[in-house]
Amino acid sequence: MLRISADPAELDFDRVHAFLRDSYWAAGIPAATLRRALDHSICYSGFLGGEQVAFARAVTDQATFAYLADVFVDEAHRGQGHGRAIVCALLDDPRLQGLRRLHLVTRDMQPLYAGFGFEALSQPERHMQKHDPDVYRRG
């Protein structure tokens, strides 16, 4: 059974960094950048035995808005409900209750997030972004 913790002292930074620096969404992220990001986020870690196999975080003001980010399950442990469990635990965090908007971006996990009530943007023309996909390569 997946043990889930929000204790920052339990987070395996090296494991999280190793996964994210090879992911499609955070490829090449420097360790210092990730450390700063995690220090300013609500982070949840999932463990089997003593090994961290899952992770999710929320970037939030804890009052009106949160961005769900960096959700992953180690490839060897996928398909067992661990992604759903860690997202559920994070979304149940008291600091994320009563928010007006929760946002996320995903390439291929829409069915997972739809199960939590996420849906496509109702007014995408109102949303804008400033995106720099090469920022980590210049750093």
Instruction: Please give the mean pLDDT across all residues of the chain.
Output: 96
Q: CA-CA distance, 10 to 39, in Å (whole number)?
A: 13
What is the structure's pLDDT at 138?
Answer: 79
What is the structure's pLDDT at 104?
Answer: 97
The CB-based long-range contact list for 68-77 (8 Å cut-off, 24+ gap) reads 68/102, 68/103, 68/104, 68/113, 69/41, 69/104, 70/16, 70/20, 70/23, 70/25, 70/26, 71/109, 72/19, 72/20, 72/23, 73/46, 74/19, 77/48, 77/53
In the predicted model, residues of the chain with pLDDT beneath 50 are none
Of residues 53, 48, 50, 55, the one with CA closest to residue 8: 55
Among left, alpha and beta (phi > 0; psi -120 to 50; other), residue 90 is: alpha
What is the structure's pLDDT at 139?
Answer: 63
Instruction: Record the pTM.
Output: 0.94
What is the structure's pLDDT at 68?
Answer: 98
Q: CA-CA distance, 124 to 107, in Å (whole number)?
A: 16
